[in-house]
Amino acid sequence: MPIIDIVSTEDIIRRKIRKHCNTLYVLGTGVIALGLWGALKVVLLFANNPAAILGDAIKDSSLSNSGIILVCVIILIPINILLLLYIFVGHHARAEGKGQKKRAFYIIVIAFLAFIYSVSAIFDVFALFVDLGDNITLEEIIVTTIVDTTASVTLIELFCSAIMIRKYRRIINTRDK
């Protein structure tokens, strides 16, 4: 089709910027979904089997109800912080994908999350070959491996796209000057 003929290096760079912006938008949405899924998983686990999260706290009869509530809140705080991190990253990625200028701090958060998930995925792979007793089944390990691997790939690609956009925009700005 005639209008899409690439006529200059700048066209190629602008096309790559649009591609990476699209990646940011799509994967940013995915990261938010990932965070919501993680939070939902914890809530469902807590609803079905509180002992899995609270552990010995609920077996301790010396704890009052308000004590148990305090334990729940303490456990839920890091989960909420993690959820907020996902939403923060996803929101900024989507906004940058739509063309808004965003500070680079969220890229550092992406790198941090990508590192966590990558390490988790590696440990999951090792766990496939290690006997962890009755606490966790093989199916759970396989699913966790898949989810962690997917998450780490998503976050790594998000990181790369955010970096590439900045790199290409710098090139465009340099050429414009």
Considering only 4, 7, 81, 130, the residue that binds other proteins (CB under 8 A) is 4
Cα dihedral sign for 84, 85, 91, 94?
Answer: negative
Considering only 8, 9, 10, 16, the residue that binds other proteins (CB under 8 A) is 16
Distance CA 6, CA 173 (A): 20
Cα→Cα distances 160→6, 100, 107, 167, 177, Å: 24, 18, 9, 10, 26
Interface positions, 21-40, toward other proteins (CB under 8 A): 21-22, 25
**Residue pointed to by tokens 């899409």:** 4
Q: H or E stretch including 133? A: none
**CB of 3: closest distance to other proteins in angstroms?**
6
Distance CA 13, CA 32 (A): 28
Tell me whether residue 3 or residue 47 sits nearer to other proteins (CB atom): 3
Considering only 13, 19, 160, 163, the residue that binds other proteins (CB under 8 A) is 19
**CB of 21: closest distance to other proteins in angstroms?**
8
Considering only 7, 8, 10, 18, the residue that binds other proteins (CB under 8 A) is 18
The yes or no reply on residue 15 touching other proteins (CB under 8 A) is yes
Exposure string (b/e) for 136-145, b if CB count within 10 Å is 16 or more? Answer: eeeeebeebb
Interface positions, 85-114, toward other proteins (CB under 8 A): 98
Could you tell me which stretch among 1-9, 114-122, 126-134, 164-172 binds other proteins (CB under 8 A)? Answer: 1-9
